[in-house]
Amino acid sequence: MRHRLFAAFLISFLAVVTSWAQPPLKLPGYRQSLINYKSLHFELYPFMTDFSMPRHAIVPMAPGSYVYNPFSGGTRFILHLENFADSDWCYLLRKSKVISPYGGRGGRHHSGTDIKSFPNDSVRAVFDGTVVMAGPFSGYGNCVQIRHMNGLTTLYSHNSRNLVKAGDQVTAGQVVALEGRTGRATTDHVHFEVRVAGCHVNSNLIFDHEHHRLHKHQVVFEKNGNAHIRK
Ligand SMILES: [Zn+2]
């Protein structure tokens, strides 16, 4: 009995050690110039503690699957938006306007930005990335989450239809869903969220929603969830 326990322990120990010892993955679409070099580390990321998502909708993180952890180099990281080329980003909805901003809304914190164009309009991925979740998710309705190699995760919800599935690689500008009003929504729109290591951040820091442009400044993200424009 003791031997068996020891063997089981040894096997699980070796499994952990070998999965951590694997070299960093070179992921497609990844450009080093987009992020600062200090935080260029790859780690196995504790996925299930990052998002409260239904298990069935999440990409299984097999041993050796790496996801970029932007805080592995310290408690803050800087996103250099000024280094993004035009092909590195895309605005999510073409002829749209913000109908409800991030932050306060009648005493309740609004975790995203509500953006509206018209029913079944194309919803586009804002950066290259990997779809980590695509499916119905309570009040969000049909929801797509994309993990980007710049450290951000973006979420697009209330979709009438999702056009991607968990595990898909997508490029900036790719249509990932159609605009809708599934879940808790009173009109057709996209509830758009930006998250960093599970914390919501204001998408206004990244995008100029009025002109549908990516900002050209640098954004500092803190591990505690704070984010601000670097002066
Ligand atoms: Zn919303």
Cα 38 to ligand 1 centroid, rounded to whole Å: 34
CA distances from 95 to 52, 88, 129, 168 (A): 32, 20, 23, 26
Cα 30 to ligand 1 centroid, rounded to whole Å: 29
Cα 61 to ligand 1 centroid, rounded to whole Å: 29
Cα 228 to ligand 1 centroid, rounded to whole Å: 21
What are the boundaries of each domain within the chain?
Answer: 1-231
Cα 191 to ligand 1 centroid, rounded to whole Å: 4
pLDDT: which is higher, 207 or 12: 207
- Phi/psi of residue 120, nearest 5 degrees: 65, 20
CA distances from 219 to 52, 57, 83, 166, 200 (A): 26, 30, 12, 28, 14
The 10s digit of each residue's pLDDT in 109-143 is: 899 999 999 999 999 999 999 898 999 998 999 99
Q: Give the pLDDT score at 28.
A: 34
The 10s digit of each residue's pLDDT in 65-107 is: 555 677 877 888 899 999 999 999 999 999 999 999 999 766 6
> Per CATH, which fold does 1-231 belong to?
Glucose Permease (Domain IIA) (2.70.70)
Q: Is 56 left (phi over 0), alpha (psi -120 to 50) or beta?
A: alpha
Rg for the chain, CA atoms, rounded: 19
Cα 44 to ligand 1 centroid, rounded to whole Å: 31
User: pTM of the entire structure?
Assistant: 0.76
- Residue pointed to by tokens 């909708």: 57
Residue 82's nearest CA partner among 226, 227, 224, 213 is 213
pLDDT: which is higher, 24 or 197: 197
Cα 99 to ligand 1 centroid, rounded to whole Å: 9
178-192 average pLDDT score: 97
Cα 152 to ligand 1 centroid, rounded to whole Å: 18
Cα 182 to ligand 1 centroid, rounded to whole Å: 12
Cα 186 to ligand 1 centroid, rounded to whole Å: 10
Cα 111 to ligand 1 centroid, rounded to whole Å: 7
Q: Is the pLDDT of residue 224 over 90?
A: no
